[in-house]
Structure 1
Amino acid sequence: MRLEQIKEYNGTLELVSGLHIGAGDTEMRIGGTDNPIVKHPHTNEPYIPGSSIKGKIRSLLELASGLIALRRGADGGPLGLRDFQGAPEEKQGDCLDLLRLFGISGGDADKTGTVGPTRLIVSDAFLDKAWRDDAWQQGLPFTEIKSENSIDRIKGTATNPRFTERVVEGAKFKVSFRLKVFGGDGDLETLLFKGLKLLEMDALGGSGSRGYGRVRFVFDDPETQGMYGAIQPF
């Protein structure tokens, strides 16, 4: 196994709708929200963890592959080495590509080196400087507090109010993907782009079924953008 190249894809993630990726803050402050978003500890500006992007595209690609039905574990976790080893021959190639792109658990003993190291590195996405500076100059907020309620079907009244923090629609973040290319790998570049296309069709973060988390990717390099635009996820 020999590392031949590391490809880098830089671009912008634009929010088509408000985005909520929770911070897991259990402390409720007076006048605050009970569902805050993750923010940088120094700047207090919102950002998107690379793990959130990577985890969601992995989940979507596994669903699209049909391999979830072959899961050998009892939980709903990601595909692992046991799933590859137990998959039908016609599905092993797809499973191997997914495991090579996203990696396997440290508990999986890949003694033959079939999978090897994780190929995909996804960086944390921070606010685009031009967008951030423009918002500052106009006095526009980076986030909003969205109020939601449940509806009592009998009385027709709102109950259980909750307040969710979201990054505002239109916000832009800089994204960076790096792809390690080893001899013998399949077309992992196309697989990555398919995952990003699926993410555009689905949602990132929480409450996607309620319209949150719609995103759009635009790459800095015109050639990369052309390749990405030509991808059909199905």
Structure 2
Amino acid sequence: MPQLQLLRIQQLTGTLELLSGLRIGASEGEIRIGGVDNQVIRNAHDRGKPYIPGSSLKGKVRSLLEWRSGAVRPEPLGIRDLSDRHPLVRPILQLFGVGGGDQLSEEQAADLGPTRVAFWDAQLRPEWVERIERENLPLTEVKTENRINRICGVAEHPRQTERVPAGAVFDFRLSIRVLNTDAEAGAALRRTLLQGLRLLELDSLGGSGSRGYGKVRLRGLQLDGADLQAEFDAIDPFAA
């Protein structure tokens, strides 16, 4: 059984720009008559500014990769899903970890190693906030939506949804643990992670993606300060 050793922790950084309005909801502390039905999540310790939870980023990227693997199931993939038929499952488990219900033997735990990636909460870039506040604009928008009566063709049951508007820019960051056993698997893990981020660009983040919400773009990507954008842009997440 190999002896595991943490060699370094890399930082993948960049910016995440919204190409369409983004809604990641918050639990409502109270219901107000005439208020917005669906509010966005906000940072209670930073003047209530909206942000993107790292859990939302990690969950969506993992979900897209699991669909890409061909082994997707209702619950997250686990140790039982490892097979030669679905080779993408292994790097997914190494990057994102196994489910809490998985009972791994010492050999299996040493073989996969600990979770490699940790997504940080994405906060609004201060420069973007300063420009919006200087122009006296709000940090969020409220979009009214309706249900259409198919027979009468009449809009019914209006509801208001709060979104972070298109054009907003967030700081993007994630950490990558590098182990001594990653010498051969390191390239595959990095490729899988970049494929997942490219899938995020092609799909959507947050709620109502099928209605055009949550289209994002990652720019200025760097790995420990070294430019990674060209490599990322060249990634085809559907390549064999």
TM-score by length of 2: 0.89
| RMSD of aligned Cα (Å) | 1.4
- In the alignment, the residues of structure 1 paired with residue 232 and residue 59 of structure 2 have an alpha-carbon distance, to the nearest angstrom, of 20
Q: Does 1:8 align with 2:6?
A: no
Letter in 1 for 2:13: N
| Structure 1 residue 26: Cα displacement | 6.0
Name the structure 1 match of 2:228. Answer: 224
Matching of residue 199 in structure 1 with residue 200 in structure 2:
yes
Would you say the 8 A contact 1:179–1:189 is kept in 2?
no
Aligned residue among 70, 80, 83 for 1:82: 80
Q: Secondary structure at the match of 2:14?
A: strand
SS at match of 2:227: helix
Task: Quote the offset at 1:30 in angstroms.
Answer: 3.1
Query: Contact conserved, 1:203 with 1:212, CA < 8 A, in 2?
Result: yes
The amino acid across from 2:189 in the alignment is L
Residues 133-189 of structure 1 deviation map (CA, whole Å, 9 limit, x = unaligned): 111111111101100001111111111111110001100000101111223332211
Point out the more displaced range, 181-190 or 131-140.
Answer: 181-190
8 A contact 2:50–2:164 mirrored in 1: yes
Which residue does 1:99 correspond to in 2?
93
| C-alpha deviation, 1:191, in angstroms | 0.9
1:15-94 equivalences under 5 Å are 15-25=18-28, 27-42=30-45, 43-68=47-72, 71=73, 76-84=74-82, 87=83, 89-91=84-86, 93-94=87-88
1:140 aligned residue (137, 142, 146):
137
Q: Distance in 1 between matches of 2:220 and 2:119?
A: 14
Counterpart amino acid of 1:182? L
User: TM-score when scaled to structure 1?
Assistant: 0.91
1:118-133 superposed matches below 5 A: 118-133=115-130
For the 8 Å contact 1:135–1:141, the answer to whether it is kept is: yes
1:97 alignment partner AA: P
Contact 2:43 2:49 in 1 (8 A): yes
Say whether the 8 Å CA contact 2:77–2:99 is kept in structure 1: no
The letter of the residue matching 1:101 is L
Q: Tell me the alpha carbon deviations over residues 80-138 of structure 1, each in whole angstroms, 9 at most, x when there is no partner.
A: 11222xx3x242x4211110100112321222222221100100000001111111111
1:152 to 143, 149, 152: 149
- Mapped partners of 1:197, 1:220: distance in 2: 12
Q: Is the 8 A contact 1:206 1:212 kept in 2?
A: yes
Q: Which runs of 5+ in 2 are unaligned?
A: none
CA contact (8 A) 2:6 2:178 kept: yes
Deviation at 1:20, TM superposition (A): 0.3
Aligned 8 A contact 1:9 1:219 in 2 = no
Q: Give, in whole Å, the separation in 1 of the partners of 2:136 and 2:170.
A: 19
